[in-house]
Structure 1
């Protein structure tokens, strides 16, 4: 009798174990598998980040204290300018490229400083197709029609093949800063190229942000061979364009902590695309 009780107990334990196992071993389609990339994605903020403000940048605040190492914690795409306007910034895949006024392209080092920047971790919300031929003005107009609302912020990371592109750089300045962007941009260095492929990195800001940021679309470009880059002034393409976009509903910015910003007179207004 004692042996029967022990045997019965073993059978009950086995049955209970099978029931528990069946609960845990749900069909694959019912299980949510968390991958390393999922964890990495959720740990990154879904925020449009900005360092300094457009009004300060316009008013000759050309020295900043944001290090490249800090910018890389704010996004994997970005644009802006390095300290003292010593190069346009295009960040792609977390790599901050510096395009100097002579066209030289290098990778910004962690201790390098940035005077102004927009950045975000690009998380694609959708993609739409634009059929060629297309120029830069028409491209921006099409983006306007595709936006869910002009009241949100948008980030773009667009692979593109171009028949022609015109890019602008920035002239390096030294203290004391005497000329603002309204005088510097008309004399900026210009780079032109034909039959080139690369990536457009850009952002859209709603008009209500005023002088905190530049209203509308703003794009920088970096070529696939990393030999051409800068602020997009114009382009033409006969190719179709697939446009991945990322809508942003959170916005944050940091201000420079230095005497130039503390003492600047924010009296000049200037907008450009």
Structure 2
């Protein structure tokens, strides 16, 4: 049976308001999907999940495989069942905004959820990480993201993992597109901020109609004041 569930752990609004300590294990995440993105506990690494492996991209840019016992504070995941395939090759250079516009023209409706896998060679890739935090947490994502560590590379082959949420998701999740990347040689990864590619990009798309989110069952979430609002305005 095709699994049409989009799994989401810890609402975005909680993540924005400094809930950086939770208890979703990598082992449990693997039961929810084979493709995903998110962040490890204490923001100790961006998470990129491909083919059932949850990679950790730390603030120094180093990449390792997450152990089953490692914990994740925020995640989007799904079992990827490719329903639509396109090739981006008609423009001299593709960047992140052109990718988004092509995806919006391709998806059947903006009212559903989608998972993407984009493979190819990128002339330039710019990714962002996050700095590990220690309690008590003083700064939220509105401060941490604009000051995030940056990782860049040229002529890099790899995979972009992405998700799309309709605007009606509100503060539960990131509205629109959210992309993470990992190179084939596992030397570059993180949140996709920008890229350029003059090569063919192979894009797989999977529509999801079942949305399942789970809240952290801990005192941090129980006591958090959900006062700040923050959505990605820029990549």
TM-score, normalised via structure 2 length = 0.96
Distance 1:96 1:241 in 2: 23
Match of 1:240 in 2: 200
Matches within 5 A, 1:214-225: 214-225=174-185
Which structure shows the bigger proportion of residues in strand conformation? 2
Match of 2:68 in 1: 110
Match of 1:28 in 2: none
Match of 1:39 in 2: none
Match of 2:9 in 1: 51
1:125-160 deviation digits (Å, cap 9, x = unpaired) = 111122242111111111111110000000011112
Match of 1:18 in 2: none
Matches within 5 A, 1:85-164: 85-131=43-89, 132=91, 133-164=93-124
Which structure shows the bigger proportion of residues in helix conformation? 1
For CA contacts below 8 A with separation 6 or more, give which structure has more relative contact order. 2
Distance 2:171 2:157 in 1: 33
Deviating runs (4+, > 2 A) in structure 1?
none
Between stretches 169-178 and 236-245, larger displacement belongs to 236-245
Q: Provide structure 2 residue ranges, at least 5 long, that are not aligned to the other structure.
A: none
2:157 aligned to which of 166, 189, 197: 197
Match of 1:265 in 2: 225
Distance 1:126 1:207 in 2: 22
TM-score, normalised via structure 1 length = 0.83
Distance 2:171 2:112 in 1: 16
Distance 2:130 2:150 in 1: 9
1:229 aligned to which of 176, 184, 189: 189
Distance 1:203 1:129 in 2: 18
Distance 2:201 2:47 in 1: 23
Q: Provide structure 1 residue ranges, at least 5 long, that are not aligned to the other structure.
A: 1-41
Q: Is the 8 A contact 2:4 2:207 kept in 1?
A: no
